[in-house]
Structure 1
Amino acid sequence: MQTENALKYFEENYENFLEDLKSLVRIPSISTNGFDRKNVASSASAVGALMKEAGLQNVEILEVNGGHPYAYGEWLGKKDAKTVLMYAHHDVQPTGDVKKWNSKPFEPELKGDRLYGRGAADDKAGVMSTIASVSSYLKSSGELPLNVKIIIEGEEEIGSENLPHLLNQYRDKLMADYIILSDTGNYDIGIPAVTTQLRGIVAVDITVSALKQPVHSGMWGGPLPDPVQALAKIIAKLTDDKGKILIPEIYDDVAKLSVEEKKIIHDLPWNEEIFREQACVLEDVKLEHDSEYSPNEQIWFRPSLSVNAIQASSREQVSNIIVDSAWAHIGIRIVPNMSPEKTLASLTKYLLDCAPKGIVMDIKPHTSVSWWKTDTKHKAFTAAKIAIEKGYGRAPVFIGSGGSIGFVEPFTKALNDAPALLVGVEDPQTNAHSWNESLYLPDWKKCIISTIHLFAELAKIK
C-alpha cells in the first residue's frame, strides 16, 4: 500500500516536480574555472531547499577543500532497515556557442515531449528524479521502505577533484548498503538501461612555445619555428586513420571481453544510419570504424583519444603573425584494466618524443578518473530489473558507457564495495555537453516510477 500511495502522489504532483526541475535548469551552475562560482553555490542551496520541502532531514550544504558545494539530506526513520545512498550532480557544462542553441540555454523550453536547457538531462533530471521519488513516499505515507541518504555533487563536470577529501571527512555519514546513481543514460528512447561499466579519463593540457611574443609572419617567416604547425604535427602522430591510438603499449592492459559481454553487445539493436544521426555525423564523413570491433565495443570496452580543444590565435583577431605558443587539451578514455598513472606516463612520454626539436613543450595533467566495472550477480541488480520493468513496461538492458563518473569507483570502495546501480534518463538525442541539450520527459517520468518501485524491491532483500 505504501508504494501505491507514493505512485499515486507522484502522478498527482508530476507537474509540480517538472516545475522544480525547470527552476533548477534556470540556475547557470557551470563549475568550470572562469565562470561565476556563486551560481554553483546558488544551485546547491536550491537543491537543499527542495530536499527540505521533500521531507528529508539534516539537510546541509557541504563545502570541502574550497571546492564547489555538495547538498546532503537524509531520512533514517527505518531503524532495522538497510540504507541506500543516492547520488546525482547539480553542476553543468558550459553552454558552448549560444548562437548554436535553438533556445536560451538557461531558459527551459518544452518542445513536444522534450525539455530543452543546459543541465535538463545532465544531471538536473537526475537530481529531481532522486528528490521526487523520495518526496512521493514521505508526502504520501510519512516514511520510506528503507533508509535514504542523498548526496548531490557540485563539481562532477570538472572531474570530482575533491571527492577524496569528501570521503575523508564524511565517510561515516555516507555509509550505506546500496548506491543508486542517477547520472547515466538509457540505450535508446524507451529502452531502459542499467550501466555496469564506465570508462575512465586521463587528460592533459599541452602548450607548445617558440617565441617570447607573436611576430610579423612576413618579416620573420621562414627561419622561425611555427608553434601551431608544431602542435599540429604532434597531434597528427597520436592516432592513425582508423582512430587507433599510436602510443606504444597503450593497449597492453586492455581487458578482453567475456562471452557474456560479447553476447550483450551482439543482442542489442544497432543500425549505422541511426547511429550516425544520433552522433550528429555529417553525411559524407566516414566513421573511424575498426572492423575488428563494433561501435558499441569501441565506445564501452576500448580506449579512445580525443583532442577536445585547440587554441593559438583567434578568428576575431586573426592577423599575419607567427604566434608565440599554441595550446591543446587532450584526453584518453581508459577501460579495464588500464592504470590511470601508467596511461598518463605513457601519454606524457609520447608527447615529448613527438615534439619537434627546438620547441618548448609544457604538459599539465588534470585529475584522472579511473574506470569502473561491477558484478551484476548481487540481488540489488535483480531488484533493479524488477523495478525498472514495472516503471517502463519492459526489462532493462545491461550496458557499458563510454563516459566517466568520478564518484563511482572511490565511493564503492569506501562503502565496502556496496553494489552501485547506475540508472538515468539521457538518451542518444540528449546532446549532453553540446548545444540544444534536452530531456525526453516520458522516460524521465518512467525513471521516477521505477525508482519508487526500486525502494520497495531493495527493502525486500534479506
Structure 2
Amino acid sequence: MTTGGGMQHDEAVQLDSAALRDFVERKWNDEIVPALTDYIAIPAKSPMFDHDWARHGFIERVVTDAVDWVKTQPVKGLKVEIVRLAGRTPVIFFEAPATRSGSTETVVLYGHLDKQPEFEGWRNDLGPWTPKFENDKLYGRGGADDGYATYASITALAALDAQGVERPRCVGIIETCEESGSYDLLPYIDALRDRLGEVGLVICLDSGAGNYDQLWLTTSLRGLVGGDLEVQVLDEGIHSGGYGGIAPSTFRIMRQLLERLEDASTGDLLPKNFHCEIPLLRQREAAVTANILGDDVWKKLPWSCGQDGGSVLPTTTDPHEALLNSTWRPSLTVTGAAGLPALADAGNVLAPRTAFKLSLRLPPLVEATAAVAQLKSLLELDPPYNARVTFKPEAGAATGWNAPDLAPWLAGSLSEASRRHFGADVAFMGQGGTIPLMNTLKEGFPRSQFMVCGVLGPKSNAHGPNEFLHVPYAKKLTASVAEVIALAP
C-alpha cells in the first residue's frame, strides 16, 4: 500500500484519502456528535470529585453507552468488553485483529471517559451538563477531554476496513480515572499486559493543539504532584479584634510556607530539584512553534479587561519563553481552599485553620516520587510559630514524559496526514498537562513509538467553563489517525 511517498506494504489496497474523509465526515455527523451530546449530559465526574461514583452510576452509564456503540461498528473481528477490578473504576478494552498478514506489532489507542467537575463562569446559555452545538463547536464538559477519543479511534479503524486497507492489530484502553491521576490504571495495565502484545505504536487522543490549522504532535508532558497543605494554630475561631496580634494568622503562615516553594514576584519554583535541563531538541521545537503561533501563545487567554485598556499581563510576552514556562518548567497553582468562609459569611474572626490544595506541575524529566518527598519535607519542617502544619499528598503523583525520537516511517506518515487533511505541515509542541499512562507505556514498551495528539486547541478550555470540542478539527484528526495506522509496521 502507498499513500504517496510513505512506507509501502506489498499487495495492499491503496488508501483513498478523499473517501476516507467522506466516511469520517458521515460517521461524525450521523453518530458521533449525537453520541457525544448524550455523553456530555451525564455528570460522570472522576472519582476524586465524586467519592460516591459507584453508587451514582454515572461512570457506569457512559462506559456502557460507549461499549454499546462500539459493538455496532463495522470493524473486522472487533471485540469489546468492560474490564473490572474490585474497588476500582472500570476500563473498556477493545481488540481488532490484524488484517495485514505478517504484522506482528500492536497499536494501542488510549482515551478516558471520566470528567472534571463543573467549575464556575459558564456562559449564561451554556453549562457543563447541557450540551450545545454552535458554530461547529460542541460545548459541554468532557466532549473534548476526552469523551470523543473512543468514538474517533473506532471510526479510524472502520474507515480503513471500509476500503479494505490492511492494518496491524489494534487494541484500545479507555479508562475512567484519568482526571484523578489514573491511580486505578496501573493495576489494569498489569492485568492486561499479556493481551496488549508487542506494542509498536501508542496513539493517545487526550492532548492539545496549538491551533486548528494543522496536525499537532505532543512531544512532552509535565508531571504532577498534588496535595492538601493545612495550617492550624487554634482549636476554635476567636475574635480578631481582641486577639489579632497575639495569635498568628493561619493565612500569613500559609504565605510564609509557600514562599519557601515559590518566588511570589516571578512565580519561579525555588528548589533546584524541581527543575531539569531542557533538551536542545525541545528548545528548537518551542522556537518553531513560537514562530507559528506568535503572540497568540498568550494573547488567546481570557484575560480580565480584554487585550486593550489595562488588561492583565502574562508572566512573559515572549512566545518562546511562554511555551517553555508551560511545558518544561515547574509551576505551582492553588486550586482550592478550606477554612475560609464565604465573603458573605466572613466575620471578624481569626480562623483556627487554613488549608490549600496545591497542584505542582513538574518538568518531564523530574521524578514525581522524589518530588513528593521533598515537597512534604520542605513544607512541614520547622513550621513558623510552631504551628501544626501537615501536607497530605494525593494519590497518583505522576512523572512526566518525553517522547522518543520519531521513527522515519512515523515522521513521514504524520507529515503526509497533516498535509493531506489539514493542508499544512505537522507541528510539534510540549504540553503542560499530565497523562500518566504515557510514561508507564514508555517504560513497559521502550521500543514503541508515540502519536500523542488531541483537540484541545485555543479557548477549548478543558477543566474550565465553556469547554468545547472543535468538531471540524476532530474530524481531520480522526482521518489523520487512520492514515497513520495504515502505515504502521
- TM-score (ref. length: structure 1): 0.91
Corresponding residue of 2:399 = 370
Relative to structure 1, the CA distance from residue 428 to residue 67 in structure 2 (aligned partners, 3 Å threshold; closer, same or farther) is same
Corresponding residue of 1:280 = 302
- Structure 2 unaligned blocks of 5 or more: 1-12, 306-310
Structure 1 residue 141 displacement after superposition: 5.0
1:256 aligns with 2:263: no
Give the counterpart letter for 1:242 in structure 2. T
1:451 aligns with 2:465: no
Give the counterpart letter for 1:311 in structure 2. A
Corresponding residue of 1:329 = 357
* RMSD value, Cα: 2.5
Q: Does the 8 Å contact 2:212/2:473 carry over to 1?
A: yes
1:148-297 aligned within 5 A = 148-175=170-197, 176-240=199-263, 241-247=265-271, 249-250=272-273, 254-258=276-280, 260-268=281-289, 269=291, 273-283=295-305, 284-289=311-316, 294-297=321-324
Corresponding residue of 2:3 = none
Determine the C-alpha separation between the residues in 1 that align with 2:260 and 2:442: 37
Structure 1 residue 10 displacement after superposition: 2.5
Determine the C-alpha separation between the residues in 2 that align with 1:96 and 1:377: 38
Q: Which is worse superposed, 106-115 or 278-287?
A: 278-287
Give the counterpart letter for 1:44 in structure 2. V
Task: Name the SS for the 2:206 alignment partner.
Answer: strand
Q: Does the 8 Å contact 1:201/1:340 carry over to 2?
A: yes
Structure 1 residue 293 displacement after superposition: 6.7
Relative to structure 1, the CA distance from residue 380 to residue 65 in structure 2 (aligned partners, 3 Å threshold; closer, same or farther) is farther
- Structure 1 unaligned blocks of 5 or more: none
1:393-432 aligned within 5 A = 393-432=423-462
Q: Does the 8 Å contact 2:231/2:388 carry over to 1?
A: yes
Structure 1 residue 436 displacement after superposition: 0.3
- Show CA shifts across 1:172-201 (max 9, x none): 112332111111111112132111111111
Relative to structure 1, the CA distance from residue 32 to residue 20 in structure 2 (aligned partners, 3 Å threshold; closer, same or farther) is same
Structure 1 residue 27 displacement after superposition: 1.9
Structure 1 residue 163 displacement after superposition: 2.2
Equivalent of residue 74 in structure 1, options 90, 95, 116: 95
Relative to structure 1, the CA distance from residue 290 to residue 337 in structure 2 (aligned partners, 3 Å threshold; closer, same or farther) is farther
Q: Does the 8 Å contact 2:224/2:360 carry over to 1?
A: yes
Determine the C-alpha separation between the residues in 2 that align with 1:309 and 1:288: 22
Task: Name the SS for the 1:164 alignment partner.
Answer: helix
Corresponding residue of 2:34 = 19
Give the counterpart letter for 1:46 in structure 2. D
Determine the C-alpha separation between the residues in 1 that align with 2:303 and 2:250: 30
Corresponding residue of 2:83 = 62
1:304 aligns with 2:331: yes
1:112-151 aligned within 5 A = 112-138=135-161, 140=162, 145-151=167-173
1:356 aligns with 2:391: no
Q: Does the 8 Å contact 2:113/2:147 carry over to 1?
A: yes
Corresponding residue of 1:49 = 68
The alignment-based identity, stated in percent, is 23
Q: Which is worse superposed, 425-434 or 235-244?
A: 235-244
Determine the C-alpha separation between the residues in 1 that align with 2:478 and 2:328: 29
Q: Does the 8 Å contact 2:365/2:402 carry over to 1?
A: no
Structure 1 residue 113 displacement after superposition: 2.1
Q: Which is worse superposed, 67-76 or 268-277?
A: 268-277
Structure 1 residue 152 displacement after superposition: 0.7
